[in-house]
Structures are given as structure tokens and as C-alpha cells.
Structure 1
Amino acid sequence: MGGTGVQGFERLPARVFDFTSGSRRDLYFAILHVFNDANERLETALLLEQVHGRLPGTGYTDPVDEDEVEAALRHLESLDLLESSQSYTASYATAAEFERKNVQYTLTARGEAEFAGVRVVLERLKEKGALQTAVLDAVGDRLAALDTLMSADDPAQDSRVFTTLQELEGHLDSLRDNTKRFNNELQRLLRADGADLDTFHEVKKATVGYLDAFVDNLEERARTIADALARVEEHGTARLLERALNGANLPPSADERVRADWLDGRRAKWSGLRLWFAPAEDGQEGVRRLHEVARRAIGALLETLERITESRRRASSTAEDLRTAARWFAGAASEEELPLLWSALTGLSPARHAVLGHEDGELIEPGTAWADADPVPVSPNLRSSGRSGRVARTARVRDVRATERRRRERALAQRAQTERARQLLATDGPMRLSSFGMLEHDLFEHLLSLLGQALAEPVASDGTRRALTFDGRMEIVLYPPPDGRVATLRTPRGEFTGPDHVVSISVPGPARAGDAPPPRGSFGVAEGGAA
């Protein structure tokens, strides 16, 4: 079909990567390898004998003569990967030698691009995906560096703006590509049925630990990146890209179209960065995807590990037991052995009443045949219903709707209580622990839980301890006590004493309506109970 095509869609050139098909593809790739190595040594053209002599250096070991190499060179020239020209600098002994060896070959821009494309494919096939927290830290560092450079507004630093922006884009591409590959490998791992259960179990267990370590502090790193991104955008994205363009030192031949395309590429990269880390109504999109990938993977891996553990706990499966029994029955010496084997395997006797015992079994000598022993009373129900006891009616199904309603109400009350504690315990800044004074017991338990989380964290270089609640909604910063004062917190159930730490309790992120902390001294204490 004709037409102009979809706007913005780049069509593939005709016969792209054609050299990778056919029986001589390895020779073609080796020849392009020779020219790529020559370009790295700033050799722009090679003769036929030079190409033939350098083929073994690429690792190509198949025997090949100069006629085959010449045919391959002409084929690559027909694909517009090489171009030929006359060489007037060499000396030739005969006219025939001149006709044969005066042609030199050069790698074209398309040949260089197709060779690089194949190399990228081969490298991608060998690479493994990873969730690298170091890349997140590097993104934050580069954004902080851009903020510093943009604050200076020094034209002499435009080249550094360009290189820093390039490094930032490289880190973002690495994060995106590694996340996609790791997710694909993770799905293959979840579908894999390893023959070696020990190795399979250890790999999945180690992967759960790897994911857990990545998710830990992920939200804090993402918040740091979002803050740095906001600071850079305060200087103006257009101004940033304009300075990066000036620092890119494009050649004089670059017209307005080339410069516009360069700026469009940078804008697209910046939009991708914002999609990952810029705050939105439902959170940071890229970080939310990372959380979802890690959370689903941890759950699926734990379920798989549980299934493996359960399968190990059972000595054998029912199907395997039945196959073993079938082999034993097939190998029986005679039909008389079959009932004995059946009784030994199943523990079932021919008659139901044979399982009943005498009132005093010690009076019956071991080995006495049942026909010679005293009779045993049998319940009439056994003959009529197959059961020795009386069969009662099935119990009515219990109505659990009231229980479910009470559970929902209790869950809502607990959620409201947690939200209320979050509002009441938030401080305007660092304050003494003793400033809380009188507390309701529920608020005291929330405060005690926060203190316990902070004390469990390692001490930072500035002497503080920081901790986030499990849902990331509250952050506590615990400063070392400046003196030996003792704090006393009173609740309706008693008093609590301990070191008078300086604490700062805050709600990370932008404040929402209704989240403002109340005035100091209002900690849900009944009237007249304040300290």
C-alpha cells in the first residue's frame, strides 16, 4: 500500500541485516569485524590481502582463500556495507597483480551501524537483568549535580551540563532495561521446574532475599530522586536542554533540523525520567511498577517454595504409591498371594465385623482362628448402613455474616485509630520526649512502637537514628539525649520513665487536607488530664 505512513514511525531500510542470513554469514561478520578493528586504529581502508591476513585475529578459524574473501567483499559492497576505491599508493610487479590487488575497501556508515547492531544483540543475549540500587543512587547524584550546575548559570560549564545529562540518561536506560530483563528472567524462574530440587530451592530462596533487599529503602531513594528532580525543574527544563545543546559541540554542518531532533530526543528522555520519579496523584509511576514487580515476585516465590517444602515433606505421592503397588501385583508368584498382598498394602479385611474386638481380648490366645473364637456382638447398623455407630443429622451451616460485619467494623476502627495517632503524634520539629506529658494508652503504644523502631536502626554519622513505619506514612528521627534528664510519660494505666530523647515525628511527602498536627499538648487526653 502507498501513502506517507504513520507520523513519527521510522521505517526500516531495505535488506537491513541481510548479511546475517545464509551459509556464509560467519565469514561476513568476521570481515566486518576486521574493518571495525581497523577503524579503531584509525585505518580507513584495507586491501584484499590485508583483510584475508587479519581474519584469524577475529577468531574466525575456517579455512578460506583470497578468492572466497574477494567474493564476500563484493557481496558486502552490494549490500552497501562496504565501498571500494582504487589504491594508487602501492607498487605492483605485474599488470595482472595490479588488476587484482589495486582495489581497497572502506566500511560505510551503514556497515558500521549494522555491525554495531549485531554486537548489541549478542551482548544482550549474554546479559542478565538486575535490580540495582546503585543505579537509583547514581540517578539522584546526577540530578543533584545538574541542580548545582544550573544554579551557577556559567556558560563555561555548559559542557559539564551536557555530560552530566548524558550520564543521567544512561543511568535511566540502564534502570529501565535491567528491570525489564530481570522481570522476564523472574517469570521464567517462576515457571521453571528444576530437576535438582536442592539447587532449585536455594536459587528461589536467594532471589527472595535479593528482592527483599531491593525493596528495602526503595521509597526513601525514590523520594530523594523526586526532590532533586523538582529542584532541577525549578531552573526550567527548556533552559537546561538549551545549555546542554550548547555544551554538546555539534559540528558546524548541523542545521536547525539536526538541532531540533537533538532537543526532541532529550525531551523524550526527560519525560521518561519524570514518568519514573515525578510525584503524581497515585504515586511515582515507575517506582510503583518496581514495587508491584517485587511484591508479586516475592509472593509467587514464597508460594513456590512452600509447594517444594510440602512435596519434600511427603515421602511419596499417591500416584507413585499406586504404580509401585501395580508392579508388586504384576510380580506376584501366584493368584493365592494376591489377597495377602492386598491385605498387607491396604490394611482392609474381607468383612467389616472382623475389626470388632472381644470385651476381654486377653482371654483369646494369639493365633486363634476367628471361626474357633467366641462370637462378637455386631451392631445392627453395620448391616443396614455400613457403620457401627448411629448416624446423626448433618449439623446446620453456621451464619457467619454477623462475624464478618464485626470484623469489618473492628478493622475500620483500628484504621481510624492509627490515622488519629498519626495526626496527634506528628511534631512541628524536634522536641523533648517529656513534652508529650499525659497520653491516652493507645497513643502511648503507638509512640512506644515508633521509639522501638528508631532504636533498632543503626546510628547515622550525625548521631541520629531514623525509621519509617511499615506503610511509609510516618518517619521518626531520634536525636541523642543532650543531657541526663529523664522523661516521664503518664497514661491512665501508669507511668513510663526513660531517657529524655529529642524526637521529630513527621509524615513524609506533601501534606494532605486534615493531616496537620494539632497544637502541642493536645494528645487525645481527657479534659483535666493534661500534664
Structure 2
Amino acid sequence: MAERRTLDLDALAVSDRFRLFNFTRRDDHVTYLWILRAVDRLREVHQVQVGADEVAATLRELSAAHAEAPEIPAQGLRHRLDELAADGVVHRFDDASRAGTLARYRNRQSVYQFSELGYRAYHAVENLLGARAEDVNLSRLVFSDVLEDLGALAEANRTGRVEDVYRRLSRLDAVMEDMGRRSAQFHVTLGEILRSTEASSEVFLRHKNALLVHMSDFMAELDRYLPRLDRAVHEVEATGLSTLLSRAADVDERLFMDRTERLEDWSRRWWAVRAWFASESGAPTRAAELGRATRSAVSGVVALLRQITEAQRGGVNRSTQLRHLAAWVFDTPDDGAAHALMGAAFNTRSARHLGAAHEDGDEFAPTDSWHDAAGVEVSVTLFRSDRSPTHGVPKPVRRDTGARSELRRRQTEDREAERASATRLVQEGAHHRVLDDSDTKVLLRLVTKALESRSVVAGRMSSATGDDAGTLVKLVPSDRGSTVRTSRGSLHLPGFRLELASRARGARSTRRSTRGADSTRGDQSTPTRKGD
């Protein structure tokens, strides 16, 4: 379940949570760890918010009880607490009520307390430091407890005892989590034992009987209870799974989750229990997978035991072989014979050696040994296949059809909107209404083209025209001028009258905006645009 929740976090959330472990990567990480231990010790006596003086006093108590606890000066403690606050492990608050004098009031009086995620990060580090290989085991007694809880859960759901449903389901969830953790730790530790037996074969031989008996008993209990657990899971579901989960969500007292979230959480927990014991469509259960892994581990332990026994019976193992080889090399008459013996023992003569010219040929003398000279980069292709690397054929150009289709669709929509705006301008005119952004954009483009094409004849400004996509605008000299109202302000054209027409119909469809010109009579200032 924890793995499933972590998969829902994005990269930013993962980075923020990894930042909580920054104190473990600092040079004085042990000092930060003892500071957090002091804050945790104060929290245990229900002192949630603590100051630097209180942390320093607790550190002195820890130093008296533990010789490895560091002594931190008062001036460096506040800085380290601020660093922990910057990482998000603790929260920092300013508490002026702790200032007993005016001088202390003027200085910053900060108190600190664990953040929720910071407390979890601190406990994760403590659990890692407190882990012991001797504690791992496969609990074979848990199957009878799980079977009893499943039977009691079915009976409680059948009789409507809501609180018993919640208790039994919570206990099953805790047992499944503990069982998964134990099995993972056991097989990881067993793998380390199998890899390190040459250095600690005596330890392995001393504990081999207990290890084999432990795994054999676990497999026997698993094979005996697995069919009964499968039937018990289906009996629970037969009493009404939706009712079961709904009752658990109703009794759940987590205040910061609404009922829908609690219902989804309990549904995930039940499916985790079901995945352990209930078979479905021939797919193996988690318990069956654990059984196969344990059988494989038993085979590995037996094979390793046979290897160690044969090596001890013959008196020859890897360590004795290396010691004999070292003695032979030491007794050789010269260096050439020693190199030949080592080459034959480790098969170094069959290695393929590659060479290439160094960028600075004069940096090393030709007489220098390859052991003293700097190495050069050799391509992987030359190393693996003894062929010089090539650029290869050009890769095909990737065509993003979806992006191009989306871009083409947006361009089509923009063109249709401009055509509709041009049609409205011809049919309804530019006056006696407020133009929206689309109509204003088309009109400004037409007016710009018309102004660029105007000319001066006999000292007077002549009329000007401009067209775009079949829409024609004409600026006719007029003493009255004209004004166009838009959603963003008014556009004044002093000295000109604005006429719009469709180029396909020519001058017959020209809409003269004389009434709009009358509304701006006498306005002879320069062209301006101001807000309404």
C-alpha cells in the first residue's frame, strides 16, 4: 500500500520529501541527529514547541547518559535548528511571550516543533540505525491469527457489529503490513548471508540448522493454512464487501479525511489482504509467491552448505587457493616467471588490449610505461566489436501528427473568426455599436493598410483605401471626422470618414457611416485612441 501511494507523487513532491533527509548529508550529520533526538525527547514529555535553550539543556542530559552525544555550543544550536527548519524537518515560530527582558524581546525568540513529514523522516533514520540482522524472521504463527480474524470479520459483518468490523479489519491490515516487511527483510538478509559465506563460513555453519528448521516450519504452516485462508477471504466477501467497507469507513476516526477518502483507503487495504491469500483466475497469491521464494532460498542454503562441507572436507577453498598461489608467486626466480604465473592463473593473456593516440603526444615520453601514462577515451563500438564508430544512417524525422492537427484546427478557427468579423463589419458597419476584440482587430488591420496607401495631392490629403480578404475600407476626407467605439476604448479619425464595403460587390454595397461622422462633428484633432 505504501508503494502504491508513493507512485502517485509527482517529481516536485518527491524532491520536497527527499529534502527532509538533507541533515543526513551534512558534514556534522551526527550533531543534527542528536539535536532531533533532543527535540523528540521533549516531545515525549508533551512539550511540543521547544526553544534553543531547552534543546541545549536536553542535549546536556543526553551527553551525561551517552558518551557519544556531542556537546553543542549555544551560539551554534540556533543556526542548526534554523537549517532543520529550512529543510522542513521542524517548523519555526516566533514566540514573544518567552522574552523575559526587553533585550530578549528585541532579539528573535523562536520556538521549534516537528513537522508531520519531518517526524516521519527522523523516525525512518532512527529505524534504519536501529535495524539488526538478528531480528529478521518469517513468522509462521501469524497464519492462525489471520484465519481467526477473517472468521471473526465475516461474523461481525453478518451480524452488523460495526465496531468489531473496524477492529478486525484494522488488525488484518497491520498483520499484512508486518508480514510483508518481515518477509522482505528475511530474504534480503538471507541473500547477504549467501553472498558473504566465504568470509563467515563458521557463522553460517553454526546457524545452518536453525535456519533450515525455521524455513521448513514456515513452509509447512503456509501449505497447511493457505487453502483455508482462501476460503475464509471468500466467506468474508460473501457477507457483503460494500457493506463491510462502508461500515469500516463510518467508524474510522481520521478527522482530516472525508468519508469518500476513507472508503477508498479501506478498499485498498482489503484488496491488499485479498491479494495475499485469495486466488483469482489461476494467478498466484502473494503468499504463494512467498512460498516459492522460500523454497528457492532453502535450495540455495542446501547447495551452499554442500559447497562449504566439500571444501572443508578436501581442505581446499577459495582462500586456501589464493594463499597457495601467493606462495608460488613469491617463490618464482624472477619477475618474468611471476607475471607468467599470474597471467596463467587469472587468464590475463587472452584479454584484448586497445590503444589510441593521446591528444598531446609530447606530454608523455615513448619510454613511459602504460601504467604511468594517462588513459585515453576509447569508444564502446571499438571496444566491443573492434570496429571504428560511424555516424550511421540519418534517423527519420519524427512527425507529430497530433500537434500538427491541433495547430491546423486552431488556424482554421482563427480564419473563420476573422471572416465572420469582416462580414459583420460590412453588414452592420463600424458605428452605432461597440466592436468586440475580433472586429476591432480586423478593422485596425484594414485602417492600417489604408493609411499606408494614402497620398498628398496639391497640399491636401486624398482619400485612401485598403482591402484584406475581400473586405474594402475607404478613408474619405471629411471636415466632421468619425469615431469608432470598441470594447477597449474609442478610436477617433479626425478629418476622415470611414466607409466599409465588400470587394466582391464593389461600390454598390458601400455602407456610408455618415451618422457616425455626425456624432463627432467638429473633432479635428490628431488620430488618438483613448479609453472609455
TM range (shorter): 0.5 to 0.7
Q: Which amino acid aligns with 1:274?
A: R
Measured in 2, the distance between the counterparts of 1:199 and 1:23 equals 36
Q: Is the 8 A contact 1:205 1:305 kept in 2?
A: no
For structure 2, the 5+ residue unaligned runs are: 1-5, 334-532
Of all paired residues, the percent bearing the same amino acid is 20
Residues 428-456 of structure 1: per-residue CA shift (max 9 Å, x gap): xxxxxxxxxxxxxxxxxxxxxxxxxxxxx
Shift of 1:277: 0.6
What residue in structure 2 maps to residue 230 of structure 1?
Answer: 234
Alignment partner for residue 104 of structure 1, among 111, 136, 144? 111
Measured in 1, the distance between the counterparts of 2:286 and 2:107 equals 60
Measured in 2, the distance between the counterparts of 1:319 and 1:231 equals 61
Residues 176-217 of structure 1: per-residue CA shift (max 9 Å, x gap): 111112112222222223445444323233322221121123
Q: Which amino acid aligns with 2:306?
A: E
1:198-213 aligned within 5 A: 198-213=202-217
Task: Decide whether aligned partners of structure 1 residues 64 and 243 sit closer, same or farther in structure 2, where only a CA change above 3 A counts.
Answer: same
Task: Decide whether aligned partners of structure 1 residues 141 and 54 sit closer, same or farther in structure 2, where only a CA change above 3 A counts.
Answer: same
Q: Is the 8 A contact 1:31 1:51 kept in 2?
A: yes
Measured in 2, the distance between the counterparts of 1:326 and 1:7 equals 57
Task: Decide whether aligned partners of structure 1 residues 182 and 319 sit closer, same or farther in structure 2, where only a CA change above 3 A counts.
Answer: closer
Shift of 1:133: 0.8
What residue in structure 2 maps to residue 12 of structure 1?
Answer: 14
Q: Is the 8 A contact 1:45 1:105 kept in 2?
A: yes
Measured in 2, the distance between the counterparts of 1:26 and 1:190 equals 32
Matched, 1:129 2:164: no
Measured in 1, the distance between the counterparts of 2:82 and 2:234 equals 56
Measured in 1, the distance between the counterparts of 2:331 and 2:38 equals 70
Residues 235-288 of structure 1: per-residue CA shift (max 9 Å, x gap): 12221111111111232x644xxx333322322222222222102344752232
Measured in 2, the distance between the counterparts of 1:91 and 1:195 equals 61
Q: Is the 8 A contact 2:230 2:277 kept in 1?
A: yes
1:85-484 aligned within 5 A: 85-90=93-98, 92=100, 94-100=101-107, 102-124=109-131, 128-154=135-161, 158-195=162-199, 197-251=201-255, 254-255=257-258, 259-282=259-282, 284-315=284-315
Measured in 1, the distance between the counterparts of 2:315 and 2:238 equals 66
- Matched pairs, number: 318
Task: Decide whether aligned partners of structure 1 residues 100 and 286 sit closer, same or farther in structure 2, where only a CA change above 3 A counts.
Answer: same
Residues 476-501 of structure 1: per-residue CA shift (max 9 Å, x gap): xxxxxxxxxxxxxxxxxxxxxxxxxx
Measured in 1, the distance between the counterparts of 2:141 and 2:230 equals 16
Shift of 1:13: 4.4
Residues 83-125 of structure 1: per-residue CA shift (max 9 Å, x gap): 3334354462x43233347433333334323323323433456
Alignment partner for residue 75 of structure 2, among 64, 67, 71? 67
Q: Which amino acid aligns with 1:211?
A: M
Q: TM-score, normalised by structure 1?
A: 0.53
Shift of 1:301: 1.7
Measured in 2, the distance between the counterparts of 1:196 and 1:76 equals 41
Measured in 1, the distance between the counterparts of 2:217 and 2:251 equals 39
Q: Which amino acid aligns with 1:299?
A: S
Q: TM-score, normalised by structure 2?
A: 0.53
Task: Decide whether aligned partners of structure 1 residues 196 and 88 sit closer, same or farther in structure 2, where only a CA change above 3 A counts.
Answer: closer
Q: Which amino acid aligns with 1:19?
A: F
Q: Secondary structure at the match of 1:85?
A: strand
Q: Secondary structure at the match of 2:93?
A: strand
Shift of 1:232: 0.9
Q: Secondary structure at the match of 1:137?
A: helix
Q: Secondary structure at the match of 2:30?
A: helix
Shift of 1:7: 8.5
Measured in 2, the distance between the counterparts of 1:321 and 1:99 equals 73
Measured in 1, the distance between the counterparts of 2:196 and 2:180 equals 24
What residue in structure 2 maps to residue 338 of structure 1?
Answer: none
Q: Which amino acid aligns with 1:237?
A: L
Matched, 1:77 2:93: no
Q: Which structure carries more relative contact order (alpha carbon 8 Å, separation 6+)? A: 1
Matched, 1:24 2:28: yes
What residue in structure 1 maps to residue 509 of structure 2?
Answer: none
Measured in 1, the distance between the counterparts of 2:218 and 2:268 equals 27
Q: Secondary structure at the match of 2:141?
A: helix
Measured in 1, the distance between the counterparts of 2:212 and 2:70 equals 46
Q: Is the 8 A contact 1:225 1:277 kept in 2?
A: yes
Q: Is the 8 A contact 2:34 2:69 kept in 1?
A: no
Task: Decide whether aligned partners of structure 1 residues 121 and 290 sit closer, same or farther in structure 2, where only a CA change above 3 A counts.
Answer: same
Q: Is the 8 A contact 1:34 1:55 kept in 2?
A: yes
Q: Which amino acid aligns with 1:277?
A: F
Measured in 1, the distance between the counterparts of 2:40 and 2:148 equals 35
Task: Decide whether aligned partners of structure 1 residues 13 and 40 sit closer, same or farther in structure 2, where only a CA change above 3 A counts.
Answer: farther
Shift of 1:30: 2.4
Task: Decide whether aligned partners of structure 1 residues 126 and 98 sit closer, same or farther in structure 2, where only a CA change above 3 A counts.
Answer: farther
Measured in 1, the distance between the counterparts of 2:83 and 2:328 equals 66
Q: Is the 8 A contact 2:133 2:189 kept in 1?
A: no
Q: Secondary structure at the match of 2:170?
A: helix
Shift of 1:328: 13
